[in-house]
Protein backbone atom coordinates (compact mmCIF):
# COMPACT_ATOMS: atom_id res chain seq x y z
CA UNK A 1 0.00 0.00 0.00
CA UNK A 2 1.33 3.40 -0.94
CA UNK A 3 1.22 6.35 1.43
CA UNK A 4 -1.13 8.28 -0.88
CA UNK A 5 -3.53 5.34 -1.05
CA UNK A 6 -3.33 4.92 2.74
CA UNK A 7 -4.30 8.56 3.24
CA UNK A 8 -7.18 8.26 0.78
CA UNK A 9 -8.49 5.06 2.39
CA UNK A 10 -8.35 6.70 5.82
CA UNK A 11 -10.16 9.72 4.32
CA UNK A 12 -7.70 12.39 5.39
CA UNK A 13 -8.08 15.82 3.83
CA UNK A 14 -4.93 17.51 2.53
CA UNK A 15 -4.79 19.71 5.65
CA UNK A 16 -5.28 16.68 7.88
CA UNK A 17 -2.53 14.86 6.01
CA UNK A 18 -0.09 17.74 6.50
CA UNK A 19 -0.97 17.98 10.18
CA UNK A 20 -0.65 14.20 10.65
CA UNK A 21 2.72 14.11 8.90
CA UNK A 22 4.03 17.01 10.97
CA UNK A 23 2.75 15.43 14.18
CA UNK A 24 4.20 12.06 13.19
CA UNK A 25 7.57 13.60 12.31
CA UNK A 26 7.78 15.38 15.68
CA UNK A 27 7.04 12.17 17.56
CA UNK A 28 9.53 10.21 15.50
CA UNK A 29 12.23 12.81 16.06
CA UNK A 30 11.60 12.91 19.82
CA UNK A 31 11.94 9.12 20.07
CA UNK A 32 15.09 9.06 17.95
CA UNK A 33 16.69 11.95 19.83
CA UNK A 34 15.84 10.39 23.20
CA UNK A 35 17.72 7.29 22.13
CA UNK A 36 20.82 8.68 20.41
CA UNK A 37 21.14 12.07 22.17
CA UNK A 38 22.42 13.66 18.97
CA UNK A 39 20.39 15.80 16.56
CA UNK A 40 22.23 14.74 13.42
CA UNK A 41 22.00 11.04 14.22
CA UNK A 42 18.35 11.45 15.20
CA UNK A 43 17.57 13.05 11.84
CA UNK A 44 19.31 10.15 10.05
CA UNK A 45 17.31 7.64 12.08
CA UNK A 46 14.03 9.41 11.31
CA UNK A 47 14.88 9.40 7.60
CA UNK A 48 15.75 5.70 7.67
CA UNK A 49 12.58 5.01 9.64
CA UNK A 50 10.42 6.83 7.07
CA UNK A 51 11.71 4.45 4.42
CA UNK A 52 10.87 1.46 6.62
CA UNK A 53 7.41 2.85 7.34
CA UNK A 54 6.67 3.34 3.66
CA UNK A 55 7.94 -0.12 2.78
CA UNK A 56 6.02 -1.82 5.60
CA UNK A 57 2.87 0.30 5.55
CA UNK A 58 0.72 -2.63 4.47
CA UNK A 59 1.63 -4.47 7.69
CA UNK A 60 -0.05 -1.80 9.81
CA UNK A 61 -3.22 -3.56 10.94
CA UNK A 62 -4.90 -0.60 12.67
CA UNK A 63 -4.33 2.77 10.97
CA UNK A 64 -5.34 4.51 14.21
CA UNK A 65 -2.11 3.21 15.71
CA UNK A 66 0.12 4.77 13.05
CA UNK A 67 1.94 7.01 15.52
CA UNK A 68 2.60 4.24 18.04
CA UNK A 69 3.66 1.87 15.26
CA UNK A 70 6.00 4.52 13.86
CA UNK A 71 7.53 5.13 17.29
CA UNK A 72 8.35 1.44 17.60
CA UNK A 73 9.99 1.46 14.17
CA UNK A 74 12.03 4.54 15.12
CA UNK A 75 13.02 3.03 18.48
CA UNK A 76 14.12 -0.21 16.81
CA UNK A 77 16.03 1.69 14.13
CA UNK A 78 17.75 3.75 16.83
CA UNK A 79 18.60 0.63 18.82
CA UNK A 80 20.11 -0.96 15.74
CA UNK A 81 22.12 2.19 15.02
CA UNK A 82 23.40 2.30 18.60
CA UNK A 83 24.27 -1.38 18.51
CA UNK A 84 26.11 -0.92 15.21
CA UNK A 85 27.95 2.09 16.59
CA UNK A 86 28.99 0.23 19.76
CA UNK A 87 30.28 -2.71 17.71
CA UNK A 88 32.34 -0.28 15.63
CA UNK A 89 33.75 1.39 18.76
CA UNK A 90 34.64 -1.96 20.34
CA UNK A 91 36.19 -3.06 17.06
CA UNK A 92 38.26 0.12 16.83
CA UNK A 93 39.30 -0.31 20.46
CA UNK A 94 40.27 -3.94 19.83
CA UNK A 95 42.40 -2.92 16.84
CA UNK A 96 44.33 -0.30 18.83
CA UNK A 97 44.58 -2.17 22.11
CA UNK A 98 48.02 -2.86 23.48
CA UNK A 99 48.96 -5.33 26.18
CA UNK A 100 50.49 -2.51 28.22
CA UNK A 101 47.20 -0.62 28.30
CA UNK A 102 44.98 -3.30 29.89
CA UNK A 103 45.07 -6.64 31.58
CA UNK A 104 44.25 -8.87 28.60
CA UNK A 105 43.04 -11.76 30.76
CA UNK A 106 40.40 -9.68 32.53
CA UNK A 107 39.40 -8.00 29.29
CA UNK A 108 38.84 -11.34 27.55
CA UNK A 109 37.00 -12.80 30.55
CA UNK A 110 34.64 -9.81 30.62
CA UNK A 111 34.13 -9.98 26.86
CA UNK A 112 33.34 -13.72 27.02
CA UNK A 113 30.94 -13.21 29.94
CA UNK A 114 29.11 -10.42 28.09
CA UNK A 115 28.83 -12.65 25.02
CA UNK A 116 27.45 -15.55 27.10
CA UNK A 117 24.86 -13.30 28.71
CA UNK A 118 23.89 -11.83 25.35
CA UNK A 119 23.51 -15.31 23.84
CA UNK A 120 21.47 -16.41 26.88
CA UNK A 121 18.92 -13.70 26.12
CA UNK A 122 17.67 -16.00 23.36
CA UNK A 123 15.79 -18.04 26.00
CA UNK A 124 13.48 -15.06 26.59
CA UNK A 125 10.41 -14.03 24.62
CA UNK A 126 11.15 -11.40 21.98
CA UNK A 127 9.41 -8.54 23.84
CA UNK A 128 11.10 -9.43 27.13
CA UNK A 129 14.47 -9.70 25.37
CA UNK A 130 13.95 -6.21 23.91
CA UNK A 131 13.11 -4.87 27.37
CA UNK A 132 16.27 -6.39 28.85
CA UNK A 133 18.44 -4.95 26.07
CA UNK A 134 16.83 -1.53 26.45
CA UNK A 135 17.25 -1.61 30.23
CA UNK A 136 20.73 -3.02 30.64
CA UNK A 137 22.47 -2.42 27.31
CA UNK A 138 21.15 1.04 26.51
CA UNK A 139 20.37 2.15 30.07
CA UNK A 140 16.76 3.14 29.44
CA UNK A 141 14.46 3.82 32.38
CA UNK A 142 11.45 1.57 32.95
CA UNK A 143 9.10 4.43 32.02
CA UNK A 144 10.81 4.87 28.62
CA UNK A 145 10.52 1.15 27.92
CA UNK A 146 6.86 1.16 28.96
CA UNK A 147 6.09 4.03 26.58
CA UNK A 148 7.81 2.40 23.63
CA UNK A 149 6.35 -1.04 24.35
CA UNK A 150 2.92 0.51 25.02
CA UNK A 151 2.35 -1.23 28.35
CA UNK A 152 2.12 -0.21 32.00
CA UNK A 153 5.41 0.49 33.74
CA UNK A 154 4.51 -2.10 36.41
CA UNK A 155 4.30 -4.77 33.73
CA UNK A 156 7.72 -3.77 32.41
CA UNK A 157 9.25 -3.92 35.90
CA UNK A 158 7.70 -7.33 36.61
CA UNK A 159 8.83 -8.81 33.29
CA UNK A 160 12.36 -7.48 33.72
CA UNK A 161 12.52 -8.89 37.25
CA UNK A 162 11.28 -12.33 36.09
CA UNK A 163 13.69 -12.25 33.15
CA UNK A 164 16.66 -11.47 35.41
CA UNK A 165 15.73 -14.39 37.65
CA UNK A 166 15.30 -16.71 34.68
CA UNK A 167 18.62 -15.63 33.14
CA UNK A 168 20.45 -16.10 36.43
CA UNK A 169 19.01 -19.61 36.80
CA UNK A 170 19.92 -20.40 33.19
CA UNK A 171 23.50 -19.18 33.59
CA UNK A 172 23.92 -21.09 36.86
CA UNK A 173 22.61 -24.26 35.22
CA UNK A 174 24.87 -23.77 32.20
CA UNK A 175 28.08 -22.71 33.89
CA UNK A 176 27.78 -23.66 37.55
CA UNK A 177 27.07 -21.79 40.77
CA UNK A 178 30.72 -21.06 41.49
CA UNK A 179 30.80 -18.48 38.71
CA UNK A 180 28.20 -16.42 40.59
CA UNK A 181 29.49 -16.68 44.12
CA UNK A 182 26.54 -18.90 45.15
pLDDT digits (tens, 9 = 90+) for 65-89: 888 889 999 999 988 887 777 655 4
Q: What is the mean pLDDT of residues 109-121?
A: 70
Q: Which residues of 82-119 are buried (b: 16+ CB within 10 A; e: fewer)?
A: beeeeeeeeeeeeeeeeeeeeeeeeeeeeeeeeeeeee
The Cα–Cα gap between 132 and 135 comes to 5
Q: What is the mean pLDDT of residues 113-141?
A: 81
User: What are the pLDDT digits (tens) for 6-35?
Assistant: 555 455 566 667 787 888 889 899 999 888
Amino acid sequence: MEWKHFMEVEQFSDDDQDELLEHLYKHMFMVAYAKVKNRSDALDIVQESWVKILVKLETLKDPKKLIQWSKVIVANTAMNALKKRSVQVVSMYDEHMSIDDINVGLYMEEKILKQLIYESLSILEEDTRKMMICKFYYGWRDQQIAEIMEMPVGTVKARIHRAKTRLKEHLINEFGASAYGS
